[in-house]
Amino acid sequence: MTTDMNDPAAVERRLWDEIEKDQIGMLGVVGGGAHHLQPMTAFVEPAAKRLWFFTRNDTDLVEEIGAGHKAMFVFQQRDLRACVGGRLTVTQDRDRMDRYWNAVVAAWYPKGKDDPHLTLLRLDCDDAQVWISQAGPMRFAWEIAKANATGHAPDLGGRAEVRFN
């Protein structure tokens, strides 16, 4: 899929589409104590510029978020890589729980949607850095060979900044 890296709306649309399709990324807070990003499944709301995540209310991540914290969601699949920044908050949004509940989520919460530890995280997205490779395997090989022969960097795609505000 080719995306015009000079068209912010096209890059944003592609970002939302890819996260919705593949869902899995790494989420973590920015600042504070030493910590690592954690694998999470994202549920996408492009119109609201939001990502939602199921978690437990007794995790280190929830404790660190408190009333709200700056966070990053790092997403990567074959042709697209992105780091999405925004404000992460803990919520008990029952409508969203009902909307996004599925068999995979249920496997983590044997007591179902009434599990007392079940909670949601909401990432209100501010911005993203997005890298999209426009090259398949043949072009990749050609660009690498050409770069080594000419001393010029390979042309494999581009980077764009997306502002959600």
Q: What is the CATH number of the domain that holds 17?
A: 2.30.110.10
Looking at residue 97, its amino acid is M
The pLDDT assigned to 20 comes to: 97
Instruction: Tell me if 1 is assigned to some domain.
Output: no
DSSP 39-91: EEE-EEEGGGTEEEEEEETTSHHHHHHTT-EEEEEEEE-SSEEEEEEEEEEEE
Q: Give the total number of structural domains in the chain.
A: 1
157: left (phi over 0), alpha (psi -120 to 50) or beta: left
Average pLDDT value for residue range 97-113: 94
Digit-coded pLDDT (tens) for 127-136: 999 998 866 6
Segments forming the whole domain that contains residue 69: 8-163
Residue 82 lies in a domain: yes
Percentage of the chain lying above the pLDDT 70 cut? 90
What single DSSP character describes residue 123? E
Q: Rounded to whole angstroms, how far apart are CA atoms 146 and 100?
A: 46
Residue 89 covered by a domain:
yes
pLDDT bucket at 160, cuts 50 / 70 / 90? confident
Q: Is residue 93 part of a domain?
A: yes
Question: Which pLDDT does position 157 carry in this prediction?
Answer: 65
